């Protein structure tokens, strides 16, 4: 196998928009106890409006790992230039696969946020928080779907990791993923800086192996103060 597509049945977020309120309040720094009823209604309306125009789309692909040297991981058609993630291969039995994906919430939410900035920065801030929350939920679901897909074939998976995290340089990482996946087919493009458009889009890679004892390099990374540090 050189390449394989992942059969993700459904990536739509199924939670009720109304239950997102506490998470949105946490992101924007509002306390439910001190918030006025008018603000509560306003935020709920914004959540419903944003929810109604979000459409999750994605591309995904699996490549067979051909080399895992000290400077990175090479797969058929893609290379991950990260010493830390390459070192993670030493904590796996038979690391064989690079599972790559790009997902997006689409351009409509970006346009609405820009429109709201003209009249209300508060509204734009709430919608931005909503988009970030839903994008992360979609990426979580994508990670679960990939893990389930590979578990049927007796593979275990690392956590997902994205360009710009650990020692994987942002712009170079996006180039590698975009050349491999060509997410322009779903309307996603990468700027020279590595920033993705639409803004609420996520690119990531997971490693598939016969046995994964450590899911991220965090446990052997010396940066104890990294805000992205994971303990699982």
Environment class of residue 227 by beta-carbon count within 10 Å: exposed (0-12), middle (13-18) or buried (19+)?
exposed
Contacts of 129 (CB under 8 A, 6+ apart): 24, 27, 28
Residues in the chain: 232
pTM equals 0.88
Domains in the chain: boundaries: 3-213
For 3-213, which CATH class?
alpha beta
Nearest to 198 by CA among 189, 206, 207: 189
- Return per-residue pLDDT of the chain as tens, 232 residues: 444 554 443 445 555 667 888 999 999 988 888 889 999 999 999 999 999 899 899 999 999 999 987 789 999 999 999 999 999 999 899 999 999 999 999 999 999 999 999 999 999 999 999 999 999 989 999 999 999 989 999 999 999 999 998 899 999 999 999 999 999 999 999 999 999 999 999 999 999 999 999 888 877 777 777 777 777 6
Structure tokens at 147: 């893990």
Task: Strands of 124-166 (E only): list them.
Answer: 156-157
């Amino acid at each position: 196998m050189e390449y394989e597509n992942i059969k993700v049945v459904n990536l739509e977020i199924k939670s009720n928009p109304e239950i997102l309120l506490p998470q949105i309040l946490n992101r924007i720094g509002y306390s439910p106890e001190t918030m006025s009823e008018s603000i509560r209604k306003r935020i709920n309306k914004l959540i419903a409006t944003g929810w109604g125009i979000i459409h999750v789309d994605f591309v995904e692909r699996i490549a067979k790992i051909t080399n895992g040297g000290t400077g990175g991981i090479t797969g058929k058609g893609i290379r991950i230039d990260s010493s830390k993630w390459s070192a993670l291969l030493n904590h796996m039995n038979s690391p064989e696969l690079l599972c790559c994906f790009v997902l997006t919430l689409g351009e409509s939410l970006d346009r609405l946020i820009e429109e709201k900035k003209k009249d209300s920065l508060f509204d734009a801030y709430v919608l931005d928080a909503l988009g970030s929350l839903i994008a992360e939920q979609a990426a979580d679901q994508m990670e679960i779907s990939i893990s389930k897909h590979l578990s049927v074939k007796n593979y275990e998976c690392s956590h997902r990791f994205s360009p710009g995290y650990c020692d994987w340089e942002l712009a170079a990482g996006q180039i590698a993923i975009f050349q491999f996946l060509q997410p322009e087919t779903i309307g996603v493009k990468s700027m020279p800086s590595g920033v993705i458009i639409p803004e609420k889009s996520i690119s990531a890679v997971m490693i598939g192996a016969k046995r994964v004892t450590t899911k991220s390099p965090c446990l052997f990374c010396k940066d104890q103060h990294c805000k992205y540090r994971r303990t699982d």
